[in-house]
């Protein structure tokens, strides 16, 4: 259980105790005086507000990430494979971009984008839905970079079966809960994830410590 959820829980408990404690019984008096009950309720309410607005539950709906787009590849003819159309190979990108691509009409698996910086670790990228968004033959996902100016990255696209997709989703959630993102070793990537494309890109800015 995350610290934010604990804060919300304590806040709810304090508010309930304040309400019940100040409720007058048959004697006309409550278990708590207003001098104690009112501050307790206020503190509980503030804890609930703080925990909620700093938690991922609210951030999903309230935080609008500002993303940029890289250069875009022009596609002509039928699409026969999952492919990146933006950014393009050897492109220089901002700290947070929208990676976009296309997929064949018959393609049914999930699409995952991995970032591999110079530490040789693999970082699955996600919006709040985890998997890349797919619709009408196009896919996209917010992609984040946290390295130095000019640092090189492999941007890798995987097609994933249900088991592999579940692994990536649970891994991301575990990292978020711990607020620690160690990346995956190559041997940790499940067998149900198959690499379909890889390009090389570079950071246009110093993104270290941005996220």
Residue 84's pLDDT is: 96
pTM of the model: 0.67
SS (H, E, C) the chain: CCHHHHHHHHHHHHHHHHHHHHCCCCCCCCCCCHHHHHHHHHHHHHHHHHHHHCCHHHHHHHCCCCCECCCCCCCCCCCCCCEEEECCCCCEECCEEEEEEECCCCCCCEEEEEEECCCCCEEEECCCCCCCEEECCEEEEEEECCCCCCCEEEEEEEEECHHHHHHHHHHHHHHHHHCCCCCECHHHCCCCEEEEEEEEEEECCCCCCCC
Q: What is the CA radius of gyration of the chain?
A: 23
Residue 176 in contact with residue 211, Cβ under 8 Å? Answer: no
Q: Let me know the angle formed at the C-alpha of 61 by 57 and 65, rounded to the nearest 5 degrees.
A: 110
Neighbours of 91 (CB within 10 A): 18
Residue 101's pLDDT is: 96
pLDDT along the chain (211 residues), means of 10: 75 82 63 74 82 52 61 88 96 94 94 96 88 92 92 97 96 92 96 97 88 62
Residue 132 in contact with residue 168, Cβ under 8 Å? Answer: no
Both tokens assigned to 176: 């978020």
19, burial (CB in 10 Å: exposed 0-12, middle 13-18, buried 19+): middle
How far apart (Å, rounded) are the C-alpha atoms in residues 93 and 3?
34
């Amino acid at each position: 259980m995350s610290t934010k959820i604990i804060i919300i829980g304590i806040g709810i408990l304090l508010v309930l105790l304040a309400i019940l404690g100040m409720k007058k019984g048959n004697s006309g008096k409550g278990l708590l005086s207003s001098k104690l009950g009112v501050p307790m309720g206020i503190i509980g309410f503030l804890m609930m507000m703080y925990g909620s607005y700093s938690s991922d539950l609210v951030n999903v709906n309230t935080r609008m990430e500002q993303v940029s787009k890289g250069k875009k590849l022009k596609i002509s003819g039928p699409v026969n494979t999952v492919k990146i159309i933006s950014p393009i190979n050897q492109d220089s990108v901002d700290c947070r971009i929208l990676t976009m691509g296309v997929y064949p009409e018959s393609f049914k698996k999930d699409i995952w984008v991995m970032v591999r910086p110079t530490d040789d670790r693999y970082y699955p990228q996600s919006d709040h839905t985890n998997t890349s968004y797919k619709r009408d033959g196009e896919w996209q996902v917010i992609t984040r970079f946290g390295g130095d100016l000019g640092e090189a990255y492999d941007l890798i696209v995987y097609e994933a079966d249900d088991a592999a997709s579940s692994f990536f989703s649970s891994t991301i959630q575990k990292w978020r809960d711990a607020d620690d993102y160690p990346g995956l070793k190559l041997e940790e990537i499940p067998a149900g994830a198959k690499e379909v494309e890889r390009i090389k890109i570079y950071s246009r800015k110093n993104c270290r410590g941005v996220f």
